[in-house]
Amino acid sequence: MSITALSADLSLELRGAVAIVRLTRAAKRNAINDGLVMGLRQAFEGFGPDIKAAVIAGDGSHFSAGLDLSELSERNAVEGMHHSRMWHKALDAVQFGRVPVVAALHGAVVGGGLELACAAHIRVADESAFYALPEGSRGIFVGGGGSVRVPRLVGVARMTDMMLTGRVYNAQEGERAGFAQYLVPAGQALDKALELAEKIALNTPATNFALTHVLPRIAEQSADHGLMTEALMAAIAQSAPEAKERVRAFLEGRASKVQKS
């Protein structure tokens, strides 16, 4: 196990094949500033082949309370557009990087923090988590990909309501709405996220790539195009030597069968 400070606001910890990227601005409720955004992009673009899965977590009492408004300066339209695109590139590196990503959520998952969480592939929340998009009441609009990612998780109507009214979802409501796939007792989100990431790391790289890069694109295609993409990806995945060995192990009784949990 090794821990590296990527910046004053971000650290990287390696646990075998799993990388833990941790927001370390606890005193600021892990509010996301420009340096942290650029650090996230650097971290997720820098993973080598030895890293098979990643976890995003936050130090202190909150995952992230959102955009650091102290950095919000007077920008003209072009500058604002480029700032938003900087966020897009960083969160695309999370969603469409080399490895599947699990977010461990607790406390505030708000604004830009929610945008970051939505870029992960799996979200584990503990009972302290709450979700909000306060941009509407502050006279601004989401700019970190939230208008694309949040509705795909919970629907346009829910996001509209959150931004128009300031509605806050608690942990239980958030899990039912689709913000998180797992809900655990307070203080256990990181442990559960690590458990899932370690399991994901055992999958073949081709399958993980198909699930994180190809499946989201199939969901946006017409049925005919999606089925063709599926056929192509299925052929690629099953042709890998590791996949052939795993199927052989199952047929020969050397692999575990699916059990009811």
* Any domain includes 261: no
pLDDT in the model for residue 177:
98
Number of domains in the chain: 2
Dihedral pair phi/psi, residue 141, rounded to 5°: -130, 155
Residue 198 is a catalytic residue: no
Q: Assess contact for 65 and 115: CB atoms under 8 A.
A: no
Closest C-alpha to 148, from 170, 118, 190: 118
One domain, residues 16 and 112: yes
Q: Which member of 127, 135, 173, 195 is catalytic? A: 135
Q: Which one of 115, 127, 175, 220 is the catalytic residue?
A: 115
For 109-166, the pLDDT digits (tens) are: 999 999 999 999 999 999 999 999 998 888 889 999 999 999 999 999 999 999 999 9
* Assigned domain for 256 exists: no
Residues 9 and 67 in one domain: yes
- Looking up residue 161, the CATH number of its domain turns out to be 3.90.226.10
Q: What is the DSSP letter of 250?
A: H
**What's the pLDDT tens digit per position in 28-86?**
999 999 999 999 999 999 999 999 999 999 999 999 999 887 777 677 889 889 999 99
Q: Where are the alpha helices (DSSP H) in 170-240?
A: 171-177, 189-200, 205-209, 215-220, 223-239
Asked if 115 is an active-site residue, the reply is: yes
Mean pLDDT of the chain: 93
| pLDDT at site 247 | 67
55 and 178 both lie in a single domain: yes
CA distance 177 to 215: 21
Q: pTM of the predicted model, to two decimals?
A: 0.93
Answer with the one of 166, 184, 200 that is the final residue of a domain.
200
Nearest Cα residue to 113 out of 103, 99, 128, 124:
103
Domain extent, residue 239, equals: 205-251
